[in-house]
Amino acid sequence: MLKFLKSNKGLVYIIFGNIFGALLTGGFWLLLASLQSVEEYGETSYMISMASLAASFALLGLNTAITTFIPKGHNKIHIAANQVILISSTIAALIVAQRDWLLGLFVFGMTFWMMSIYEFLGRKSYKQYAIANIGARGCQLLLSILLYYIIGIPGIIIGFTVSFFLFSHRYFLSIKYFKKDFSEISEKMKFALHSYSFNMSNALLMYFDKIIIPPIFGYAVLGYYQLGFQFLMFLGMVPISFFQYLIPEESSGHKKTKLRIIGFGLSIGLAGLLYFLSPILINVFFPQYQNSLDAIRVISIGIIPMMIAYIINSKFLSEGNTKGVVIGAIIYQILQITLMILLGRLIEVTGIALSVVIALTGQALFLLFYKKLSKKVV
Q: Per-residue pLDDT tens for 15-62? A: 666 677 777 877 788 788 878 887 888 889 899 999 999 998 898 888
Amino acid at 231: F
Residue 378 has pLDDT above 50, yes or no: no
Asked, for residue 170, whether it belongs to a domain, the answer is yes
Q: CA torsion, points 330, 240, 210, 139, in degrees to nearest 10?
A: -150
Asked, for residue 273, whether it belongs to a domain, the answer is yes
Which of the two residues, 261 and 302, has the higher pLDDT score? 302
Q: Please say whether the beta carbons of 71 and 251 come within 8 A.
A: yes
DSSP-H helix ranges across 252-318: 257-285, 293-300, 303-318
Amino acid at 259: L
Asked, for residue 297, whether it belongs to a domain, the answer is yes
- The mean per-residue pLDDT over the stretch 115-125 comes to 85
| 74-105 per-position pLDDT tens digit | 767 778 888 889 999 999 999 999 999 999 99
- The mean per-residue pLDDT over the stretch 284-306 comes to 84
Largest CA distance in the chain: 61
What total number of domains does the chain contain? 1
- The mean per-residue pLDDT over the stretch 298-324 comes to 79
SS3 19: helix
Asked, for residue 80, whether it belongs to a domain, the answer is yes
**Average pLDDT value over all residues in the chain:** 81
Read off the pTM.
0.73
- What is the predicted pLDDT for the residue at 5? 47
| 174-200 per-position pLDDT tens digit | 888 888 766 666 666 666 666 676 677
Which of the two residues, 259 and 208, has the higher pLDDT score? 208
The candidate with the shortest Cα–Cα distance to 203, out of 321, 39, 336, is: 336
Q: What is the DSSP string of 93-127?
A: HHHHTTT-HHHHHHHHHHHHHHHHHHHHHHTT-HH
Asked, for residue 378, whether it belongs to a domain, the answer is no
Asked, for residue 88, whether it belongs to a domain, the answer is yes
Rounded distance between C-alpha atoms, residue 32 and residue 28, angstroms: 6
Asked, for residue 205, whether it belongs to a domain, the answer is yes
Asked, for residue 164, whether it belongs to a domain, the answer is yes
Structural domain of residue 273, as residue ranges? 2-373
Rounded distance between C-alpha atoms, residue 115 and residue 78, angstroms: 8
Question: Around Cβ 249, how many Cβ atoms within 10 Å?
Answer: 20
Question: Around Cβ 134, how many Cβ atoms within 10 Å?
Answer: 20
Q: What is the DSSP string of 54-81?
A: HHHHHHTTHHHHHHHHTTTT-TTHHHHH
